[in-house]
Amino acid sequence: MAKILVIDDDSAVIDFVQQIFGEEHTVVGLEGWAQASKYIFRHGVNIVLIDINMPGLQGDELAAILKEHTKNLDLKILLFSAADKVELRRRAKEVGATGYVQKTFEPELLRRRIERYL
């Protein structure tokens, strides 16, 4: 069982990921970036899905910060956005994220996209 942290300012997205993975994995959602690193160190996480477009601090900037502060952890950091695939891949590479997942509201498609990293 993996622990998935979803950081997204849209609670509907967090709920959607919880519905898809909640029976097999632990899914926790944060609607902001401020508590992310504290949560990761206190509770342990396997995968972090970070929305790119959030108020205050962009998700790719947060990914870069988390990457730097969690070097010694086995943590997969994924940018999570509805952005164009090429743009999303470029931004993930720039910040050293493990990868990227395009948002979709098709449950099986989202499941397959995320399961590649589990």
Q: Distance between CA 28 and CA 15 in Å, rounded? A: 9
Give the pLDDT confidence score for residue 48 in this predicted structure: 95
Which residues is 81 bridged to in the sheet? 102
Quote the pTM value: 0.91
- At a CB cut-off of 8 Å and minimum separation 6, what does 104 contact? 110, 113
- Encoded tokens for 87: 């743009």
pLDDT band at 71 (very low <50, low <70, confident <90, very high): confident
Q: Distances in Å between the alpha carbon of 94 and those of 2, 64, 88, 98? A: 26, 9, 10, 11
List pLDDT tens digits, range 22-60: 899 999 999 988 888 889 989 989 999 999 998 888 999
pLDDT averaged over the chain? 91
Closest C-alpha among 112, 52, 37, 58 to residue 85: 52
DSSP assignment of 61-93 equals HHHHHHHHHTTTS--EEEEEESS-HHHHHHHHH
